[in-house]
Chains A and B, each alone.
Chain A
Amino acid sequence: MLKLEARPNPSKLWGFASPLLALVITVLIGTVIFMAMGKAPLTALSMFFWEPIKSSYALSELAVKATPLLIIALGLSVCFRSNVWNIGAEGQFVFGAICAAGVALMADATTSRWIVLAVLIAGVLGGMAWAGIAALLRDRFNANEILTSLMLVYIAVFLLTYLVSGPWKDPNGFNFPQSKTFEKVTQIPRLLDGTRMSIGLLIALAGVGALWVYLFRTFSGFQLQVGGLAPLAARYGGFSSRKALWTALMISGGAAGLAGALEVAGPVGQLTPYIPVGYGFAAIIVAFVGRLHPVGIVFAAILMSMFYIGGELAQSRLRLSKSLTGVLQGLLLFTLLACDTLIAYRVRWQR
């Protein structure tokens, strides 16, 4: 029988190999699904792993998708490292988008270019406020942040549909539930003409560097991690767990809100009910697959974006439902968690 035997020290090798093994298993299961649906597996796989990277335009679209995932996942990695289970990033993303839209809708033709900054700040503050509710409930009332942050997702989405079908509805929008298109000045500056990539990508990459410095080179980042790994040691060291809770939720909420602002004032350009597309949930997977490490998260965000684009292509070209993306993303997290067992244990064959 196969038996698990605890390793004396966690395996460094499997720390790197486990996400790769999980990806291989996910791809194999995906292949089985393609064959079961009567599609040529290689064609289907190329939609996910070749088409999204085969041209410079495809790569720019990949970056458009990866930017929000990267930003949200960077924030979430701080949360998960400090053992704060914020799973409501989707709600913080939506509320950030709502606040950013509120600022963007105030602009008119005479507004200065600098309004973009206000739009982004509104997004960050919105996301922080939404995460702050969960933090406050946890801090003051001991309410489980998993459940409160998740309930806040539903509330944010209803608030969004309320706004776009009521107060903020475009009067000239043929009764569609959406706001008017934002003024051109509020558009997040594009990086290159002819692509949809915005400076959001630069912000995200700066975030990677900032997070690395914060986590591994500052005392506050150290305190946060100790609190997550060894709460008793943290208490002995006099590190405040309340401070860690607030820091984690403010950083992740702010990041998710920023991503929401970049999305609503970037590729979308108006407030619509289709703002929430699950980036907040996918980013949880990105954070774990990226090992909660800033650099790992970059790769994981690219991978998850390939799943998104692959799903869309498989829908338009192979007539496979694009919800396949969600299946593969979920499978990836599932297999990753299983493979991670190999970090702490080795498999032994016993009679």
Chain B
Amino acid sequence: MNEIALLVAATFNAGTVLAIAALGLLINEKAGIVNLGAEGMMLCAAVAGFAAVVYTGNDWVGFLAGMGAGALMAAAFGVMVIWLNTNQYATGLALSLFGAGLSAFVGVGYVQAKLPPRGDYSIPFLSDIPFLGTALFKQHPLAYFALILMAAIVYFLFKSRAGLVLRSVGESPESAHALGYPVRRIRLLAVIFGGAMCGLAGAYLSVIYTPLWVQGMVAGKGWIALALTTFATWRPARVLLGAYLFGGVTMVQLALQSRGVAVSEQLLSMTPYIATIVVLALISRNPAWIRVNMPQSLGKPFYPGG
């Protein structure tokens, strides 16, 4: 019983990284921009956050540093795709390649570094409930932040005027422009938000989840987060669910490894990536469904007056 509770807790924790990143990416995709640089932003944010904690000893400074790194990189990406009309796929890819290089270069000095002792995050009283306490109430505050973020994004997108404008920019930038909305600036803000959330996820990974810095430690989570927005057909609640599902896949695989199941460790490590491919294929199988849910102008450039 306790083992299952621990597995649920670990799933919650692992899903948090994916959830925060994917919810951020959801916002910029709703505004019509695909940022394939998620992996690179998360890597740079992971090293930035880790370094900040090494110097200051404060995790929250680390999260801010990670968000800053992610936002900065996203801003550079945004200016290029929105004002210079560069290809979104190629530019995002460039960001990922650049981020992988930069994080490895900057991170060399932090490979052996250690963080101050990680705290205990039990919520008083709630964490004493049998089973549920261990399963759900001993997480880092950011794990609950992911839930709040999801709720906030649902409210923003579907209940607020600003969210309506953001969606219209992603559906039909021409109409939004004609109505006098600053399409480019809205898109840039959305991209920066996506970058900041990827940054937060990256910093969470290196500061809380692992917690250490290893070159390439994001290990495809940025790409899986990108896939998650498609899986979830761009619905925030489904993004969150998908993130925990994938967190679960990672955790079950680790649990099997630790129990010494007679399958090689390397083969088990493939499961999250195989799962991503399988789910992507199943969800995409119906093109009409994807087309109905996808922001109409996703990935398409917009030049006002052009």
Q: Is A350 an interface residue (CB 8 A)?
A: no
Chain B 85-122, CB-CB to A under 8 Å as 1, else 0, gives 11101110111011111101100100000000000000
The answer, yes or no, to whether A152 is at the interface (CB within 8 Å) is yes
Identify which of residues 306-351 in chain A touch chain B, using a CB-to-CB cut-off of 8 Å.
321, 323-331, 333-334, 337-338, 340-341, 344-345
With the chains together, A83 CA to B76 CA distance in Å? Answer: 24
A31: interface (CB < 8 Å): no
**Residue in A142, A150, A321 whose CB lies within 8 Å of B108:** A321
Contact across chains for A141 and B105 when beta carbons are under 8 A apart: no
Contact with B along A158-173 (1 / 0, CB 8 A): 1101100110000000
Cross-chain contact B282 with A142 (CB below 8 angstroms)? no
CB closest chain-B residue, reference A327: B101
A154 to B220, CA, bound (A): 8
B284 at the interface (CB under 8 A from A): yes
Indicate if A4 sits at the interface (CB-CB under 8 A).
Answer: yes
B280 at the interface (CB under 8 A from A): yes
Question: With A161-B266, A284-B93 in contact, do A151 and B220 touch (Cβ < 8 Å)?
Answer: yes
- Which stretch (B2-10, B134-142, B158-166, B269-277) binds chain A? B269-277
A247, B100: Cα distance in complex, Å: 30
Residues on B with C-beta less than 8 A from A151 are 220, 223, 227, 273-274, 276-277
Please tell me if the beta carbons of A143 and B97 are within 8 angstroms of each other in the complex: no
Partner of B104, one of A154, A158, A323, A331: A323
Q: Are B219 and A334 in contact (CB under 8 A)?
A: no
The residue from B76, B220, B269 contacting A150, defined by CB atoms under 8 A apart: B220
Tally of chain A residues near chain B (CB < 8 A): 46
- Asked if A281 CB lies within 8 Å of chain B CBs, one says yes
- Whether B98 pairs with A334 at a CB distance below 8 angstroms is yes
Judged by DSSP, the binding face of B is: helix
Asked if residues A146 and B98 are in contact (CB atoms below 8 Å), the reply is no
Residues of A within 8 A of B270 (CB): 154-155, 158-159
The reply on B230 being an interface residue by CB < 8 A is yes
Does B149 interact with chain A (Cβ within 8 Å)?
A: no
* B80 contacts A by Cβ under 8 Å: yes
Distance in Å: Cβ of B263 to nearest Cβ of chain A: 10
A222 at the interface (CB under 8 A from B): no
Q: Please indicate the chain B residues that have their CB under 8 angstroms from the CB of A325 in the complex.
A: 101
Name the interface size band of chain B.
35 or more
Complex formed: what's the CA distance from A327 to B106 in Å? 10
Cα distance A144–B230 when bound, in Å? 10
B281 at the A interface (CB under 8 A): yes
Instruction: Give CA–CA (A284, B102) in the complex, Å.
Output: 18
Minimal beta-carbon separation of A37 from chain B (angstroms): 10
Q: When the two chains form their complex, are residues B90 and A288 in contact, meaning their CB atoms are under 8 A apart? A: yes
Query: What's the minimum C-beta distance from B31 to chain A, rounded to whole angstroms?
Result: 19
* Chain A CB within 8 A of B17 CB: no
Chain B residues in 8 Å Cβ range of A285: 94, 97
A11 within 8 A of partner (CB): no
- Residue in contact with A158 in the complex, picked from B76, B98, B267, B303, CB distance below 8 Å: B267
A141 to B287, CA, bound (A): 8
**Contact B276 A158, beta carbon cutoff 8 Å:** no
Is the C-beta of A241 less than 8 angstroms from some C-beta in chain B? no
A141–B101 CB distance below 8 A: no
Q: How far is the CA of A152 from the CA of B280 in the complex (A)?
A: 13
CB distance from A229 to the nearest CB of B (A): 13
Instruction: Return the chain B residue nearest A331 by Cβ.
Output: B98
In the complex, which residues of chain A have a beta carbon less than 8 angstroms from the beta carbon of B83?
4
| Interface 0/1 of B56-96, CB less than 8 Å to A | 00000000000000000000100010011111011101110
Chain B residues with Cβ below 8 Å from A152 are: 273, 277
* Known contacts A158-B267, A329-B101, A87 near B277 by CB under 8 Å: no
CB distance from B110 to the nearest CB of A (A): 12
Given contacts A142-B287, A151-B220, A340-B86, contact A333 B98 (CB under 8 A): yes
Q: Decide if A35 is an interface residue (CB 8 Å cutoff).
A: no
Contact B94–A333 (Cβ < 8 Å):
yes
Say if the beta carbon of B258 comes within 8 Å of chain A. Answer: no
Cβ–Cβ < 8 Å partners of B219 in chain A: 154
Q: Which of B102, B230, B267, B281 has the most CB of A within 10 A?
A: B281
The reply to whether A338 and B84 contact each other, CB–CB distance below 8 Å, is yes
Contact A143 B280 (CB under 8 A): yes
A281 to B303, CA, bound (A): 30
Q: In the complex, which residue of chain A has the Cβ closest to the Cβ of B102?
A: A327
Shortest Cβ distance from residue A336 to the other chain B in the assembled complex, whole angstroms: 8
B36 nearest CB across to chain A (Å): 7
Instruction: Choose one: A140, A147, A161, A329; the contact of B223 (CB below 8 Å).
Output: A147
- Residues of B at under 8 Å CB distance from A? 36, 40, 76, 80, 83-87, 89-91, 93-95, 97-102, 104-105, 108, 215, 219-220, 223, 226-227, 230, 264, 266-267, 269-270, 273-274, 276-277, 280-282, 284-287, 290, 303, 306
Can you list 19 residue pairs at the A/B interface with Cβ under 8 Å?
Answer: A141-B284, A142-B290, A147-B277, A151-B220, A151-B227, A159-B266, A159-B267, A162-B267, A281-B97, A285-B97, A288-B90, A321-B104, A326-B97, A329-B97, A330-B40, A333-B93, A334-B76, A334-B95, A344-B85
Closest 6 CB pairs of A and B: A326-B101, A330-B98, A323-B104, A162-B266, A141-B281, A333-B94
12 new A-B contacts at CB < 8 Å, known A141-B285, A142-B287, A330-B40: A137-B280, A140-B281, A142-B286, A143-B277, A144-B230, A158-B270, A285-B94, A324-B105, A326-B104, A331-B98, A334-B80, A344-B85
- Chain A residues near B (Cβ < 8 Å): 4, 6, 85, 87, 137, 140-144, 146-148, 150-152, 154-155, 158-159, 161-162, 165-166, 281, 284-285, 288, 321, 323-331, 333-334, 337-338, 340-341, 344-345
